[in-house]
Amino acid sequence: MTSAERLTAGLQAIAFTFPDSIQARLLAYLGLLSKWNRTYNLTAIRDPDAMITQHLIDSLAILPIFDQLVLAARRQFRLADVGSGAGLPGIPLAIACPQWSVSLIETVEKKSAFQRQVKLELNLTNLFVINARVEQLPPAGFDAVISRAFADLGDFVNLAGHLVPDDGRLFAMKGGFPDQEIAALPQTWTVESANEIKVPGLDARRHLIVLRKT
């Protein structure tokens, strides 16, 4: 199976309607990631097939949950990806949902430089790169914030909770179910839902934890 075929199979297994241009742009993104990774070590995963599954499909498998919770009645949607690193999950989400405004928040300049290059070469007009510390950003600038392996839930809400309004949500992408992290959440935040995510082609546990202010 080629990388393109693997990507096609993964996208078809996700219950979401993707734009026609998504496959070419996702593969172009992976090409840039592989090129930059040789110099800047943006990701420990280097095998192209593993990148398809563990980066692209893993990032996009959450979309049905997003659609159910916050997107059905909102075409204009402002999402921030905190600690975005190589642009995951923010860049695949921006490619899959061109009607969204997606901001990548990253403190390391070399990673932000890579993100800016992706934005330029893929002409992602809905993608914005913010090279700054999350806690220094102004409040309530986004409808939702997502993180993928950024921090434990307590640190996540303390650092990024101010970025959403009172009716906003934080989305934490996790592997196993984070029982201890949930138990340690501050009283000002609660778990709205904890969703097990099935990632096509990946034999590993994945969860999407949705947090809201109490």
3-state SS, one letter per residue, for the chain: CCHHHHHHHHHHCCCCCCCCCHHHHHHHHHHHHHHHHHHHCCCCCCCHHHHHHHHHHHHHCCHHHHHHHHHCCCCCEEEEEECCCCCCCHHHHHHHCCCEEEEEEECCHHHHHHHHHHHHHHCCCCEEEEECCHHHCCCCCCCEEEEECCCCHHHHHHHHHHHCCCCCEEEEEECCCCHHHHHCCCCCEEEEEEEECCCCCCCCCCEEEEEEEC
Question: Domain for residue 15, yes or no?
Answer: no
Q: How many domains does the chain have?
A: 1
pTM over 0.85: yes
CB 175 within 8 A of CB 136: no
pLDDT, mean of residues 31-49: 93
Residue 72: is its pLDDT beyond 80? no
Question: Domain for residue 36, yes or no?
Answer: yes
Q: Which CATH number is 128's domain given?
A: 3.40.50.150
Q: What pLDDT does residue 198 have? A: 94
Residue 143: is its pLDDT beyond 70? yes
Q: What pLDDT does residue 74 have? A: 55
pLDDT, mean of residues 199-214: 94
Instruction: Give the confidence band of 190 by pLDDT, cuts at 50, 70, 90.
Output: very high
pLDDT, mean of residues 187-210: 95
Question: Domain for residue 14, yes or no?
Answer: no
**What mean pLDDT value characterizes the chain?**
94
Q: What pLDDT does residue 162 have? A: 98
Instruction: Give the confidence band of 48 by pLDDT, cuts at 50, 70, 90.
Output: confident
Instruction: Give the confidence band of 151 by pLDDT, cuts at 50, 70, 90.
Output: confident
Amino acid identity of 68? Q
Q: What pLDDT does residue 149 have? A: 80
Residue 27's domain comprises 3-9+20-213
Question: Domain for residue 173, yes or no?
Answer: yes
